[in-house]
Amino acid sequence: MIRNKEEVGDEPYSVCVYDNQAAMNLPMLIVGRILLGVGIGFACQAVPLYLSEIAPSHLRGALNIMFQLVITFGILCANLINYGTGKLEPWGWRLSLGLAAVPGIIVTVGSMFLPETPNSLIERGKMDRGRSTLIRIRGTTNVDEEFNDMVEASRLANEVKHPWRNLMQRRYRPQLIVGTMIPFLNQMTGINAIMFYAPVLFKTIGFGNDASLYSAVIVGGVNLLSTLVAIAVVDKWGRKVLVYQAGCQMFISLILVGAILQYYLGEHGSLSKGMGWFVVVLVCVFVSAFAWSWGPILWLIPSEIFPMEVRSAGQSLAIATNLVFTFAIGQSLLTLLCVFEFGLFYFFAGWVFLMTVFVGFLMPETKGVPIEEIAPLFRNHWIWKRLIPPKPEDYYEQEHEMKKMHIEDPK
């Protein structure tokens, strides 16, 4: 029940806000942050799945990316709030943490009015309610084909008693690889390194103590506006086209930033104001490319590629992968920056090249494909079809055809 997951996820989130705001010592803050992680984990797992299941196929990409749009808006607001409350000593940090309750309350109340997805209702045997919900959200009674696809997917899903165990089976290996590599590669774009270095750049070009504010507004604004671009074009151009274009843009930006830092910091020890502005432009170019490609497809691709019988488990694993590597990159970034210096940007540029190749060869295009018909894209993919065993019905149909043609099965 996806909607209930959203409601359950908001409970620990709300508790954590109160715990953090009222914290009297470090252990209280740590407990609050743990509860915050639980709530965010529920939301990141449930919301993209809900959007992908409830959206019509021709709008699934745009509607799903709205989740990323709200995240970018939230990041921008949080940075501005933190900048403002940071000047309110000594209680400003409590106000900052307390204001986090506002989106939690909105999501909790709003989720009470959301319908269950037809897929979820059908999977739990509520056929009539599932059909009526599908008719209501599609705005037409001509839903027979889509409804039948959901019923068949539900039949297969109900045969699976242990989705986590089944997820590891060979037939789901392509989705498992793509679904976990996408969130891993998302973190290897270098977005955290760019975001970390941005306030330093703004201080270099003369913004002084307001560098963090201008960094939040300019970089955060570019991030937000570029996500709107993704919403506008993802269902027209497709997921892979955005990744190809953004891959080139991100690769060039990282190489140029690395080269500029190598030359100026190596030869002069600092950036000139003019060159600092140029690097800021390159940072915005990089962030814009990330925002209309690897930012939103982190949520979109894993939520749509797994079959119904393992969809929840697959999405959970994808989100866990992202959060683990977000933590790992965040904790190691300063060390990497000290060790590699400007070479860190070359390092991430290499990863951008590899991930663009990965998408080109191994990720099928899912634009406009109904969510319950995406699995055949992997079975027919020129690489993945070598890994996926044929469905039993496919084998018996092939055997029947061979007998009709009087051809002996080589087996």
Task: Note the pLDDT tens digit of each residue in 242-284.
Answer: 999 999 999 999 999 999 988 887 766 677 778 888 888 999 9
In a domain, 271, yes or no: yes
In a domain, 341, yes or no: yes
- Domain with 79 in it: 2-114+160-379
Q: What's the pLDDT score for residue 396?
A: 39
Q: What's the pLDDT score for residue 398?
A: 42
Contacts of 37 (CB under 8 A, 6+ apart): 323
In a domain, 350, yes or no: yes
In a domain, 362, yes or no: yes
pTM for the structure as a whole: 0.85
What is the count of structural domains for the chain?
1
In a domain, 130, yes or no: no
Q: What's the pLDDT score for residue 238?
A: 95
Q: What's the pLDDT score for residue 17?
A: 56
In a domain, 44, yes or no: yes
Contacts of 142 (CB under 8 A, 6+ apart): none
In a domain, 153, yes or no: no
User: How far is Cα 402 from Cα 410, in angstroms, rounded to an integer?
Assistant: 10
Q: What's the pLDDT score for residue 274?
A: 82
In a domain, 289, yes or no: yes
Neighbours of 99 (CB within 10 A): 16
Q: What's the pLDDT score for residue 33?
A: 77
User: How far is Cα 362 from Cα 276, in angstroms, rounded to an integer?
Assistant: 38
Q: Which residues of the chain have pLDDT under 50?
A: 3, 5-9, 392-411
CATH of the domain at 235: 1.20.1250.20
Local structure of residue 272 (DSSP, 8 states): -
Interior CA angle at 187 toward 185 and 191, to 5°?
120
Q: Where are the alpha helices (DSSP H) in 59-139?
A: 60-85, 92-98, 101-111, 118-123, 127-138
Q: Could you give the C-alpha distances from 170 to 77, 219, 371, 378, in angstroms and in order? A: 44, 42, 21, 12
Q: What's the pLDDT score for residue 409?
A: 43
Q: What's the pLDDT score for residue 13?
A: 54
